Amino acid sequence: MTRMTRDQEQQIMRLGSAAVEAALKGFTLEIDRAALVIANGDEFAQVVKDAAASAINRLSVPIAYAKEEVKSKYNYPPEYTGTYEDGYRDEDTDPVTPIGVQICDLARTLDISQNESLRFADQELPKFRLPDGAEGWFAIPKVEAIAARHFKNVTDPRERYRRSVLLLFDKLTRGRRLFGFSEERHLRENQVRQRARTVVMLERLGEVQKGDILIVPAQFGLRHSGRSVRRSEALLTSTEFGLGMLAVGAMTLTHSKRFKIEEQHSPYCAGDELSREGDEVFSYAPLFYSMGIGLFKCLHEPINRADPRFGAATGFLLSP
């Protein structure tokens, strides 16, 4: 995340000082009342600080597609979080599977190497902190690694990505996790592409992670609950990016409790764009719709649809 410049900071401070000065000029305080304000200086400072923080939070939010956002009360299933409606908290439940287990599961399922990724998890990952907004560390396979193992003659980046998704979806279908998927109906040639921002961010993660499987700080969609895909994109932090079907599919494979209940939160795969008719008009995004009992459907939803049940799954760059 790129911090504001010193000049920007000073401009905001001058705006705040001018606002306090204008407020004072609007009052005709008697000496004793002014003395009371000064005597309660700590409380006065806290009130001004809270008001300034509230204004900064409200005014720094982009207005793009602001109407494509609704309130949401949906959550992850308690089997996944370990937190139940009656307030009971299962202390033995950790939503995110240990990263080493995730890496080994993906490597075994997709027949790719786990070695370098396990080394990175053991020796390098402790040097990084989990970014704000991320729920944990998630293992996500590299398209290049899958392609080199299963279809090395395919060179077109979009087709390699599509085939990687199809391979993972086949594993999820065989494992009775993905329901009713059809390549002809859902993922034909020229029907899917990765968002440019997502491609760039994954490449940056790959520059320091040389293994077949990336370790990515991520969240399963609740952070952007109730927002359309393009509203979520407008609110991404500078180090945040949408996750596509390959990434969310991998997270789903290693987290079997994520789709335990039908009426629960479901993630948009915001790192992908879909052309439903295959006509290069990419106005849809994939959605992993929860069916309960560990199953999900892969649906197509308009990128301008705001639904309280849905939210964009996102990843983050590593933070030292």
Q: What is the pLDDT of residues 261-281, one digit of tens each?
A: 887 899 999 999 999 887 788
Q: What is the pLDDT of residue 66?
A: 92
Q: Cα separation of 244 and 95, whole Å?
A: 20
Given the structure tokens 């920007």, which residue do they identify? 8
In this structure, of 13-22, 32-41, 62-71, 107-116, the range with the lowest mean pLDDT score is: 13-22
Give the highest mean pLDDT range of 33-47, 62-76, 127-141.
127-141
Q: Is the pLDDT of residue 56 over 70?
A: yes
pTM confidence score? 0.81
CA–CA gap between residue 161 and residue 195 (Å, rounded): 12
Residue, of 92 and 166, whose pLDDT is higher: 166
For residue 178, the one-letter residue type is L
Q: Are 311 and 289 in contact (CB under 8 A)?
A: no
- Check residue 59 and give its pLDDT: 67
pLDDT tens digits, one per residue of 121-141: 999 999 999 999 999 999 999
In this prediction, residues 173-191 reach a mean pLDDT of 83
Q: What is the mean pLDDT of the chain?
A: 89
- For residues 167 and 245, give the distance between their C-alpha atoms in angstroms, rounded to a whole number: 11
Radius of gyration of the chain (CA): 23
Long-range contacts of 66-69 (CB under 8 A, 24+ apart): 66/231, 68/227, 68/228, 68/230, 68/231, 68/304, 68/305, 68/306, 69/226, 69/227, 69/228, 69/231, 69/306
> What is the spatial distance between Cα 195 and Cα 268, in angstroms, rounded to a whole number?
13
Q: What is the DSSP string of 163-189?
A: HHHHHHHHHHHHTT-B-S--HHHH--T
**192 beta partners:** 274
Average pLDDT score over residue span 188-201 = 93
**Residue 29 or residue 73, greater confidence:** 73
CA dihedral 220, 112, 215, 282 (to 10 degrees): -50
Residue type, 104: C
What's the average model confidence in pLDDT over 291-316?
Answer: 93
Rounded Cα gap, residues 92 and 298, in angstroms: 31
- Residue 96's SS3 state is coil
Give the SS3 label for residue 97: coil
Name the pairing type of β-strands 192-194 and 295-302: unpaired
pLDDT, residue 82, reads 59
* pLDDT higher at 304 or 27: 304
